[in-house]
Amino acid sequence: MILCITEKPSVAADIARILGAGVRRDGYYEGGDYKITWTFGHLCELKEPHDYTEMWKRWSLGSLPMIPERFSIKLKSDKGIEAQFNVIKQLVSQASEVINCGDAGQEGELIQRWVLQLAGCKVPVRRLWISSLTDEAIRAGFDGLRPESDFSNLYLAGLSRAAGDWLLGMNATRLYSLKYSEPGRVLSIGRVQTPTLALIVKRHLEIADFTPRDYWELKTEYRSAIFSATEGRFESEELGCETLEKVAAAPLQITSVSKKAGREAPPRLFDLTSLQVECNKRFGWTADQTLRLIQSLYEKKVTTYPRVDTTYLPEDIYPKIPGILGRMTPYAPQTALLLQGKIAKSKKVFDNSKVTDHHAIIPTGQSPDLLVDDEKRMYHLIALRFISAFYPDCEFSTTTVLAEAAGVPFKATGKVIVKPGWRALSDSDRQQDQSEGDNILPDFAEGESGPHSPSLQKKQTQPPKPYTEGTLLRAMESAGKTVDDEQLREAMKENGIGRPSTRAAIIETLFRRHYIARERKNIVATQAGIDLIALINEELLKSAKLTGLWENKLRRIERGSYSPQEFMQELKSMIQQIVLNVLSDNTNRRIVIEDRKPGPEKQADRPKKPRAPRIKSVEEIVCPFCGQGHLLKGRTAYGCSRFREGCTLRLDFSEYPAELTPAKLRTKVARLTSASKS
């Protein structure tokens, strides 16, 4: 019997149908020579500290650092998981061969290998590796099953990541909580979450410390065109006025007119991060929301594997492009031009050297008719990006006009679209975004002159903008550097913070632990987050650059060019040094963090503390801040039920007594709502 193990029941059903295993049993399908079962994502996890030794059950500085001689795994404590694992274990014991049908990525490899290890698998294992869930892709995948050994480095990279996160998270969280927090309070620290928080706190401090400065710009209008003085900003109004008076008394003369042809290539195909950035910019979706939607599109077979970090396609997909475009019938008007001739094969789209396990996110050609609401909007975005990749470049002409008045040089530029190319496909939002900077100039002749209307405009320097989820994802991708150039951004992905598949979860973790909050579309640091980063002196724990270098090493483990043992030894040495440094700190600093739900460790593995009273809902009184949640009653104040989504409402009992009846509380909240609206 051949056993197939998938990561989700829905995938198991698809594979069972294709293999002819149509009989449904309790926890698996069977038919012919095959049985198909499934996991529910992670069934296993690394053991907790107290599983290794009784000494690590109690939180104490003397037990640090905690470094297991060998990491071990265990089954998660859940009745449903235990029942499904028992099914898998029994089927493994009966199998002559196992086919690993888990998600084709690092996390999927780790999930399946841990399950097979715990189930005691002794038979040969082969790997199904596919980039979409269409019937065609699944059949092709089974025709080309690969040996498990092909993916050993992928597994070792996933194992190193999990063990590294355990080492740093468990040790640093206990170390800082015991050393710097109030008894029983937890300071959650992680290998990726803390550098990400440090980025947000750094931006917060840059904005808070920013002092605006006045400056003046000199512009003039001539023949309905706006010219700017090329000398730049004037630091004083007096100097600006002096120059203004000088140029106002003289005509403006055109000294040079030049035109230059330019081309704009289509935007790159989507990887997960660029899709999350674009959806945040256009629709205001969170990174997690975008990830869930694209996962749904993948499981509905309309797009390819989503958790990718490349914007390229392999060259062997090129012959399949006409077929995919031809099946995208809702976009027939847009694809018709492409299908009339030979489709362009650009190195900006097809590059084997830029593709590893998976390629960019593209449509599969399957009908999107079953999609609903936001799924349709996302599919439309991906479909247009895919089609536009094969359209011609946008051709434009840039005109630069130089002029001078009383010896003061001026310049005006304009841009005219000659052939729209791929931009003809863009929806109205994108056309508007890209045409905002366009400025069509009248025809000027070199040597002409005439009266003009100069003016001096007072402006102020602006602080850096707070992060949105989109700009934060870009900062994580490039280890804190702001990079707009696509080629440079591709080169920096090797050193990014986290992986595309985990960044959304990291951001959500910081929200959940109340280290950051949302202010409309912006992400801001809370006082708890600011205090935590101020407390950490160890650059290793909060440096985006250093964390990016660790990510680089994990990628090299995937490729087989770096040793997992060396990576783990470096981490162990780092943890030992951090523990030594913190224990040597005699400043007696303390940080106060409000109660939060447990962080990375289980409640049973935490220091004991008094149990707080349960928060009670207050009769569905609408939150006056966000207007979406309702009031909750805590120990010292009322809050909002959407506090995990970032709502910062707090009504202290000193002003809104705990003993108020719901009716009186509703009246007081209504006054607050009215005041905030006015």
Q: Which residues are catalytic?
A: 305
Give φ, ψ of 310 to 5 degrees.
-125, 150
What residues contact residue 379 under an 8 Å CB cut-off, 6+ apart?
Answer: 297, 302, 303, 363, 368, 371
d(CA 16, CA 29): 6
Q: Which two tokens stand for residue 664?
A: 């009186």
CA atoms of 176 and 179, how far apart (whole Å)? 5
User: 453, 512, 535: which is closest to 244 by C-alpha?
Assistant: 453
- List b or e across 597-634, with b for residues whose CB sees 16 or more CB atoms inside 10 angstroms: eebbbeeebbeeeeeeeeeeebeebbbbbbeebebbbb
Cα distance between residue 585 and residue 169, in whole Å = 20
Task: Check: CB of residue 80 under 8 Å from CB of residue 8.
Answer: no
Exposed / middle / buried, residue 261 (Cβ in 10 Å: 0-12, 13-18, 19+): exposed
Q: Which of 43, 50, 130, 151 is nearest to 88 (CA)?
A: 43
Beta strands in 461-542 (DSSP E): 467-468, 516-519, 522-525
Strand order, beta sheet including 637-640: 616-622, 630-633, 637-640, 650-652
Q: How many residues does the chain have?
A: 678
**CA distance readout (Å), 10 to 90, 140, 188, 301:** 21, 19, 35, 11
DSSP track, 228-241: EETT--BSSHHHHH
Q: Are strands 516-519 and 522-525 parallel, antiparallel or unpaired?
A: antiparallel
> Of 567, 620, 616, whose CA–CA distance to 158 is shortest?
567
Within 10 A of 33 (CB to CB), how many other CB atoms are there?
Answer: 12
- Whether omega for the bond prior to residue 65 falls within 30 degrees of 0, making it cis, is yes
Q: 433 phi and psi, to 5 degrees? A: -60, -45
User: Which amino acid is present at 579?
Assistant: V
Residue 265 has what DSSP assignment? Answer: P
Phi, psi of 199 (to 5 degrees): -60, -45
* Chain CA centroid to CA 478, Å: 12
Alpha-helical runs (H) found in 536-677: 539-542, 544-559, 564-583, 662-677
- Of the candidates 540, 548, 532, which has an alpha carbon nearest to the alpha carbon of residue 481? 548
**Residue 523 is which amino acid?**
I
Rounded CA-CA distance 198/206 in Å is 12
Rounded to whole angstroms, the Cα distance separating 247 from 452 reads 9
- Contact predicate 512/644, CB 8 Å: yes
Cα separation of 27 and 25, whole Å? 6
Q: What distance in Å separates the CA atoms of residue 12 and residue 23, rounded to the nearest whole number?
A: 12
For residue 670, give the amino acid letter.
A
